[in-house]
Amino acid sequence: MGVDLFFVLSGYLIGWQLLKPYTLGAEPRWAQFFAGRALRVLPAYLAVLALYVALPASAEAASMAPLWQFLTFTTNLFPDYFNARAFSHAWSLCVEEHFYLLLPAVVWLLARQPRDGIATALAAAVAILLLAGGMLLRAWIWQHELAPFVHTRGGENDFVLLWIEGIYNPTYARLDALLAGVLLALVKGFRPAWWTWAMARAPLLLAAGLGGVSAATWIDFPSFAGSVFGFPLLAASLALIVAAATSPHGWIGRVTVPGAAPIAAMAFSLYLTHKQVYHWIDANWRPALVGSNLLSFLYLQRRGAGGRRPALPRRRAARPAPARQVRQWSASGHVGGHVGGHVSGNASGGRNPNHRADKYRRARRAKRPCCPAKC
């Protein structure tokens, strides 16, 4: 479920990044977009991949897929997890990379249509085709490639292993969540009345999303029904939760989670290296960790969220900037939040103009008294 939420968020954030310029009468800066994605993904990914190749003992499994599959982001299209499981979690990054190539092409083609009505009709047709096509494709794969092994457990033809290789990991079978996120961005940009209506009903969206997620937890996803209908249900439910979280009228959008920013900054590196870390802990600390869930949790917190990036250079602890420098950043709009590498900010450059401390500072600069009760 976590990877599905990630896909919905990615679809929404990347979709809005490409669609927002069109709402302003401009076009996306394509070179800047692709360069940004490459710089965000490739340095850390290639560093971890080099570690897997240069130090096989650090890998969580004895063998891995051919190097060319990792370099071309095709490990999820030619899987062989029975024989090669090391760095297998790169499948979700492969899905993301394919999405980075597919969505810009679709957006560019739709934007070239002479009339808005034609572009809207084509966008709806593409969405329906991807949704229905994914469901039909998963149904066909399940019936013709997985059904004969539904009772097989263990070995190269293990049913769950084949289901992961044939349905769970390939890009062509996992577009539901990405599509749901892009549809949110489309509604936000080109149907503002719909978006405003939805934002005013954030609690209802959240309740519906949580209800859908709850229903999805009862589905046996490797089954035929789960494979065909489970993914669209989960994608739609998570999209409702994401929409509720973006609304200023919902409690999710108003809650600040302490420590979320540094965790988000480390998230990609932790994702790339988490299996190597688990392998190292299992090889060196198993006797001390057996039977102690609390000790395991505390140790992983120290190694992960405590600020250390396994297998990647450690960053220097950030020091608070001087007040004058913060004001300069704020005036230039450089202060903002980062979620999973996607930059977001506000007009005040990270400051809240209604905050009591900011009101007090403005009053002091203006050399007029400020009543604490009113501030």
Q: Which residue has the tokens 């002091």?
A: 364
> What's the residue count for the chain?
375
- pLDDT, averaged in runs of 10, over the chain (375 residues): 93 96 92 94 95 91 93 94 92 96 94 86 94 96 94 91 95 96 95 94 94 94 94 96 91 80 87 89 74 56 41 39 40 37 38 45 47 41
Q: What is the pLDDT of residue 291?
A: 59
70 closest CA partner among 56, 90, 86, 84: 90
DSSP string, 229-287: IIHHHHHHHHHHHHHHHH-TTSHHHH---TTHHHHHHHHHHHHHHHHHHHHHHHHHHHH
Residue 114 has which token pair? 């002479």
What residue ranges do the domains of the chain occupy?
A: 2-254, 260-314+328-365
Global pTM?
Answer: 0.75
Distance CA 12, CA 330 (A): 26
Which pLDDT score, from 0 to 100, does residue 2 have? 87
Cα separation of 140 and 167, whole Å? Answer: 10
pLDDT at 284: 80
What integer pLDDT is reported at residue 297 of this predicted model? Answer: 55
